[in-house]
Amino acid sequence: MPPSASRRKDARGPSGQRCAGRRRERSRTGKGVAPLRPGGVFVAPGGVAEGHEQIATFYSSWFDGFPDVSATLWRKITTASVTGLEWTLTGTHLGPFLIPGGEVLEPTGRRVVVRGCSTADLDGGLIVSHHIYFDQLQVFASLGLRLIPENAF
């Protein structure tokens, strides 16, 4: 069952958690990706990143493109070695955003809401691998991008 409208409106998940502000600023500098184990791996639609610098580059693309981005945590499942999260990202495309193929999409002013989930494998309290799953088509359609050129047929 989808979260209630009141939960969406106040932008908090069932546990009252919200990801924004200070966490976002730390991630822009590459420090917010801790506690990543050295050599840790990040997997997302579009590619794989290894280590703090590459992972921070991925996050920077999102934070630069959507400076008002916020994440609402809806569900968290934790075991001794794996954490799973279900979340919604919301933001306005106000800055340059790197898209697949290496192109940069200039600001469109469009609002994007995307649901996703992620898993993190842990070892000694450090993230060994972090996988994010979200619908790229939902993001690109929200930005007004076409997957097939108008004159393709």
- Of residues 132 and 22, more confidently modeled: 132
pTM of this prediction? 0.71
Q: Please state the rounded mean pLDDT for residues 125-130.
A: 91
CA distance 53 to 31: 9
Whether 138 is in a domain gets the answer yes
Q: How many angstroms separate the CA atoms of 146 and 8, rounded?
A: 28
pLDDT tens digits for 57-66? 888 889 999 9
Higher pLDDT, 74 or 13: 74
In a domain, 151, yes or no: no
CA distance 57 to 33: 11
Q: Taking 70 as the threshold, does the pLDDT of residue 100 lie above it?
A: yes
What CATH number is attached to the domain comprising 92? 3.10.450.50
The reply to whether 66 falls in a domain is: yes
Residue 82: per-residue pLDDT: 94
Evaluate whether residue 153 is within a structural domain: no
Is there a domain that residue 147 lies in?
A: no
Would 49 be classed as within a structural domain?
Answer: yes
The stretch 89-110 carries a mean pLDDT of 92
- The number of folded domains in the chain is 1
Please tell me the predicted confidence (pLDDT) of residue 10. Answer: 34
Is residue 91 within 8 A of residue 73, CB to CB? The reply is no
51 belongs to a structural domain = yes
Collapsing DSSP to helix, strand or coil, 140 comes out as helix
Residue 149 lies in a domain: no
* Mean pLDDT of the 89-99 span: 94
Contact assessment for residue 20 and residue 70, using Cβ atoms and an 8 Å cutoff: yes
Residue 147 has a pLDDT of 73
pLDDT tens per residue, range 6-42 = 233 333 333 334 444 334 334 444 444 448 888 899 9
Boundaries of domain holding 132: 5-142
